Amino acid sequence: MTSETDTPPPVRPHSDARQSGQLPEHISVWAELADLDHELGHIDVDVAGHTVRTRVLRAGSGPDLILLHGTGGHLEAYARDLAGLAADFRVTAYDMVGHGWSDLPDTPYTIDVLTAHLIGVMNELGIPRAHLSGESLGGWVAAWAAAHHPARVDRLVLNTPGNIANKPEVMARLRESTMAAVRNADDQTVRRRVEFLFHHKEMVTDELVDLRRAVYTRPGFIRAITNTLVLQDPEVRKDYAWDPAWVGRITAPTLLLWTDHDPTGGLDEAETLLGWLRDARLHVITDAGHWPQWEKVTAFLAAHHDFLILRKDPV
């Protein structure tokens, strides 16, 4: 197990930066992409009897790397990492079915449906095999894909995959906080939901909150998030819950990317996964919460580079 301690300081709040005459480390999603050649568009993917118009961002060249966001999220979750990853990979980030600005068909977004969407995205883009890096719900989908479609997955990064122990109290907290933010999508409730993802809550910008509000207020999104949160119902979840019976089928070399302040699961759950997986290693990014890809960009990029390119344990 390794940890990352030499990490950059938190993003300076915009007001402090203005007063000091300095630009903040992070200005906006667009600023992160400003000097990155990329393509943003939509593809049609057949999922569970629906044709799902799917928003996709692609950049870079090299081995294929697909990024999967978490519950209620969207591809901008990786805005701070795309340029760094595109230096080594052909990066694809997309909005999962029922999320972001992809279509919102009225069907439960269970793990098999989300995985079918992932495989459909790969088929439409002509990606026979890829590295997968998934955060939270995205990690669950990536792991399920690696277990059930092993020929499509090269290496696997599970980034704070969340609640491996299937704790009812964690499910309830996620369900209640998300539904509250979607039903009453004002600044305060949505900000509280986004802050849940961060150890350094001062890094939550107005732009991040407003992006989530824009998603949460899409027509039909209350129904869509209800279809997503079926996974927080123990009766539905039991068919897809983290379990050695299917996790043990994963043959892809796997990096467990954990943090020391993840609100959804501690290092004990990472150790559980290490015991279930055939070929796995654990890397801990310190001083971060559920979104290390945003809070600790240097550490996040280095871990991916070492594991996916140099094929060694991150240091």
40-98: pLDDT as tens digits: 999 999 999 999 999 999 999 999 999 999 999 999 999 999 999 999 999 999 999 99
Structural domain for 157, as ranges: 2-309
Judge whether 110 lies within some domain: yes
Does 315 fall in a domain? no
Tally Cβ neighbours within 10 Å of residue 41.
9
Return the structure tokens found at 51: 């044709």
pTM of the full predicted structure? 0.93
- Classify residue 314: in a domain, yes or no: no
Residue 103 lies in a domain: yes
Cα dihedral value 270, 276, 280, 282, nearest 10: 10
Q: Residue 209 burial by CB count (10 A; 0-12/13-18/19+): exposed, middle or buried?
A: buried
The answer to whether residue 40 is domain-embedded is yes
Please tell me the total count of domains within the chain: 1
Tokens of 36: 């990155």
Helix-then-strand count for the chain, H and E: 14, 9
Per-residue pLDDT of the chain (315 residues; tens, 9 = 90+): 444 444 444 454 555 555 567 888 899 999 999 999 999 999 999 999 999 999 999 999 999 999 999 999 999 999 999 999 999 999 999 999 999 999 999 999 999 999 999 999 999 999 999 999 999 999 999 999 999 999 999 999 999 998 888 888 888 888 898 999 999 999 999 999 999 999 999 999 999 999 999 999 999 999 999 999 999 999 999 999 999 999 999 999 999 999 999 998 889 999 999 999 999 999 999 999 999 999 999 999 999 999 999 888 887
User: What digits encode the pLDDT tens for the residues 147-157?
Assistant: 999 999 999 99
The CATH number assigned to the domain holding 257 equals: 3.40.50.1820
Residue 228 domain-assigned (yes or no): yes
Residue 163 lies in a domain: yes
Report the alpha-carbon distance of residue 308 to residue 60 in Å, rounded.
Answer: 15
